[in-house]
Structure 1
Amino acid sequence: MSDAGESLRERLVDAGVELVLAEGSGAVGLREIARRAGVSHGAPRRYFPTHRELLSAVARRGFAELGARFAGVAAADPRERVAGIAREYLRFAEERRGMYELMFRHDLLNGDGQEADGPRLREETGPLFAGMAHLVGECTGDAERAPVVAAALWANLHGLAQLQGWGSTRLMLGEGREEELLAAVLAAHLGGAGGAR
């Protein structure tokens, strides 16, 4: 792809990211993205033949940002690192709500197929999960079960992010108990009572 083509493709994805953050995944359409990018309504089809491919490119940006946040967690102790990653996950869900919701809508995304002019979404999501499973294995001492435990932990964090986003945890527990709740989640999956501090 030429530099000009790559630049236009990136502008289209930038416009999609802006749109999903402002209005949610339901607002991300080819026409609106073209309008925001300042190109004809047919231009996105050259780079994203389907709506799923465009949404996947936008979601890939979200996973790259989430991965950078995970990588920025500096704790040396594996359990504290998992706790830090969990906090970043919950913070991302709160701060980037529209992107977060899109990223896990695999019914809308093209996760397995090769995207036009780009890598598969799985190339962003796979390493995040593998890193979490590795850390869980270090915490539990059971590398064989670590992927299942990591998936259960991720599912629990995802549910917690949704409940917090809807205000449900405040209704259940009152204000200011987020760290206590996160500690309980971590203890349930990693064992012990240490959890998040």
Structure 2
Amino acid sequence: MTVNGSRKRETYHHGSLREELVDACVRLIEAEGIGAVSLRRVAREAGVSPGAPYHHFPDRAALLSAISARGFELLTQELAVAVGPSTAAAGPDDVGRAVAAYVAFARRRPAHFQVMFRPELSEPEKHPAVQEAGDAALKVLTDLVDRLGVRDPHALGITLWALGHGLAALTLDGVLTQKAVMWDTDQDDLLERAVRQIGQTLDVRPSPASQAANSDGG
């Protein structure tokens, strides 16, 4: 993972040191876990001097906060694509797609996912960009719930978040794989069925006010 000296000089020349350090940290987490992260170790993986990270990150938490914020930004983008335009009508299938996108994000970016929900590591109270990015991701889900016009949007919103996060965590921790083997089924098929079941069983019946509005519009 460590790069050579010529790349080190090129990194400095192009001014991409900050991005290279973030990428190196992500690779390190994926390979060895969060416990392996230190600014010195990340500098070695990025092929730069031990003091170089301090030009961009005063401490380990600052580096992890950058990864966390970026993770939420990417999650926001992927959720937005999954649920479609905020002005379009929504239904149970959109709920399933949102949960599927959440789980897919965690599987593709496990290092980001681990850091995003560890505030004791990224210290969002000191790095407001993390909180802002997290709120933006949650807003995609709350906007989806608003479009459903359900009876209890707050309850559905938190349920949707919990289900997506729970399935993602079970997947990354290997629990879903174990259960798939136990039940003699395919893991991806089991996950797809679970996601589909969420959209079918959640209470997404329109509220009386929503029904009246739709009736007037028709």
The TM-score with structure 2 as length reference comes to: 0.71
Residue 75 of structure 2 aligns with an amino acid whose one-letter code is L
Which moved further from structure 2: 122-131 or 70-79?
A: 70-79
Shift of 1:30: 0.9
Residue 130 of structure 1 aligns with an amino acid whose one-letter code is K
C-alpha distance 14-97 of structure 1, shift in aligned 2 (>3 A): closer
Runs of 4+ in 1 over 4 A off after TM superposition: 3-6, 74-77
Structure 2 residue corresponding to 1:159, chosen from 153, 160, 166:
166
- Aligned match of 2:111: 98
Q: Is the 8 A contact 1:24 1:99 kept in 2?
A: no
- Aligned-residue RMSD, C-alpha: 2.7
Measured in 1, the distance between the counterparts of 2:33 and 2:70 equals 15
Residue 78 of structure 1 aligns with an amino acid whose one-letter code is A
Residue 90 of structure 2 aligns with an amino acid whose one-letter code is P
Greater share of residues in helix: 2
Within 5 A, what are the aligned runs for 1:38-77? 38-73=47-82, 75=84, 76-77=88-89
Task: Describe the SS at the equivalent of 2:119.
Answer: coil
1:30 correspondence with 2:39: yes
Higher relative contact order (CA 8 A, sep 6+): 2
Listed as ranges, the gaps of 5+ residues in structure 1 are: 193-197
Q: Is the 8 A contact 1:136 1:190 kept in 2?
A: no
Structure 2 residue corresponding to 1:8, chosen from 3, 17, 21:
17
Measured in 2, the distance between the counterparts of 1:172 and 1:111 equals 40
Task: Describe the SS at the equivalent of 2:49.
Answer: coil
Measured in 1, the distance between the counterparts of 2:18 and 2:110 equals 24
Residue 68 of structure 2 aligns with an amino acid whose one-letter code is A
Measured in 2, the distance between the counterparts of 1:106 and 1:169 equals 30
Shift of 1:146: 2.6
Measured in 1, the distance between the counterparts of 2:81 and 2:26 equals 22
Task: Describe the SS at the equivalent of 1:111.
Answer: coil
Shift of 1:168: 4.4
Listed as ranges, the gaps of 5+ residues in structure 2 are: 1-11, 206-218
The TM-score with structure 1 as length reference comes to: 0.78
* 1:8-53 residue CA offsets vs partner (Å, 9 max, x unmatched): 2222112222222333323322112111222221221232122111
1:81 correspondence with 2:94: yes
C-alpha distance 81-185 of structure 1, shift in aligned 2 (>3 A): closer
Shift of 1:6: 5.8
Of the two, which has the highest radius of gyration?
2
Measured in 1, the distance between the counterparts of 2:154 and 2:34 equals 29
Shift of 1:188: 4.4
